[in-house]
Amino acid sequence: MGESAVKERYIDLKTLREKKGWTKMRAAEELGFSRTYYSDVENGKHGVSLKMMHAIIKTFNVEYEDFYRTDSPGRK
């Protein structure tokens, strides 16, 4: 799966992160993942693991149903 296809499947992490005023490093720390892994997920280079999905939902206070929807807040 190409980068754009991966990015289009999930909620827009960059927008959610920027709304909090966080750097990628801060977001990674809050989520409990390395900056490199977080950055790769945000940039569409890696898919989202189940563990990361749960951390994103909790940390960014998004609904599970909105995580994959293209019309949810935080999506481009």
Whether residue 42 contacts residue 10, with contact meaning beta carbons closer than 8 Å, is answered with no
Structure-token match 């995580």, residue found: 67
Predicted confidence (pLDDT) at residue 21 exceeds the cutoff of 90? yes
pLDDT in tens, 5-17: 445 567 889 999 9
Domain layout of the chain by residue ranges: 3-61
Distance CA 46, CA 73 (A): 22
- CATH fold group of domain 3-61: 434 Repressor (Amino-terminal Domain) (1.10.260)
Predicted confidence (pLDDT) at residue 70 exceeds the cutoff of 80? no
